[in-house]
Structure formats: C-alpha cells, structure tokens
Amino acid sequence: MYKFILPFVALACIMPFTSTAQQYMTREGQVQFFSTTPIENIEAENQQMTALLQADGRFAFRVPVLGFRFEKALMEEHFNENYLESHTYPNGSFEGSIVGFDATLQDGEAHDVVAKGTLTIHGVVQEREIPAKIQWNGTGWDIESIFSIAPADHDIDIPKVVRRKIAPSIEVTVRANLLPR
C-alpha cells in the first residue's frame, strides 16, 4: 500500500514549487489621484483596489469610488455626491491586457509596458493605452502606473464656481503587488 501512496505524497509536495500560477491578484491595491491648480491641491487615496493578472497578460482592476479618502471631509462629500455620483456609479475599472506580456518579463527587472483596454469611470467607457512598470518580485508581480484622466472625458460635470480649483487633467497613480491566486 505504501508503494502506491508514497509517490502521490511526493508529487503533491513537489508540485507547488515546480508549477507556475496562472493568476495573480490583490485586494489591497492602491490608487491615488492628485489635482493641482494655483488655487488648491486636491489629493485622495484608496487602498481597496482589486486587481487580477492572468498568465496570458489579461489584466483588470476595480476600485470602489466610496473608498477614496481625502484630507478634508467636505471634499470627500462633494467628490462622492456631486462629481463621481458614487451611489449611481459605485466603481471605476479597467479591463484589458498588458501588451507583449510573456515569460521573459519574469527576470526580476522593472519593465516599461502598456496596458491596452477600456477604462470605465462615472459610467463612461473609454479605450485607453496606459503606461506602466511591471516587475517580477520572485513570487508575484509589482505593478505601478501613472497616467492622467480628464474629468470631461468621463462626463464629470465641474460647476463653474469651482472649476478653477479642479485641474482639467487629474494625475492618477496605481500601485499593486499581485500574488499567486
């Protein structure tokens, strides 16, 4: 009996070290945005991004809009109620793939890549090519991206009274450490 069980036990112990995971994910990714004008800077951070990377380079993330935290509570309230209308549009998301993603990127070096797909904010879907850096850390992928979003491109209405306080293009930074799923 041991002759039959022992090979299966040995195989079960070795397999996790020899096989590669087909998916990498996180539920703790970070998204920050920064708007700068001569009148006021607006900054917010969200630690609730969920992201998934498939072995073939398909990539997606989702960010709950209500998860953004601001320095001033009034800014957070206006952001959710007046601009992003988070009760109607609860999430922002990206769905696409990393162009040229393959095993050669798994060398431990940081690589400049482009994620091509659709960015959805405020219910508006927009085709985008988003630059990013990706690096294999030995167990998973570290991803960082800095790109801009124009509120006007996503039908986010900025009232004339505060238009000078909000930049026409908002800098967004995404950071995630994706581990085998």
pLDDT at 21: 45
Average pLDDT estimate for 68-85: 94
Closest CA relative to residue 163, chosen from 35, 31, 17, 49: 35
Domain count, the chain: 1
Could you tell me the pTM of the whole model? Answer: 0.84
Look at residue 11 and tell me if it is in a domain: no
Look at residue 4 and tell me if it is in a domain: no
Look at residue 13 and tell me if it is in a domain: no
Mean pLDDT, all residues of the chain: 89
Enclosing domain of residue 103: 22-180
Q: How confident is the model at residue 4 (pLDDT cuts 50, 70, 90)?
A: very low
User: Do the beta carbons of residue 120 and residue 104 sit within 8 Å?
Assistant: no
Average pLDDT estimate for 39-55: 96
The domain that holds 65 is classified in CATH as 2.40.128.110
Look at residue 12 and tell me if it is in a domain: no
Look at residue 62 and tell me if it is in a domain: yes
As a dihedral over the C-alpha atoms of residue 123, residue 33, residue 113, residue 126, rounded to 10 degrees, the angle is 20
Look at residue 9 and tell me if it is in a domain: no
Closest CA relative to residue 92, chosen from 168, 163, 22, 170: 170
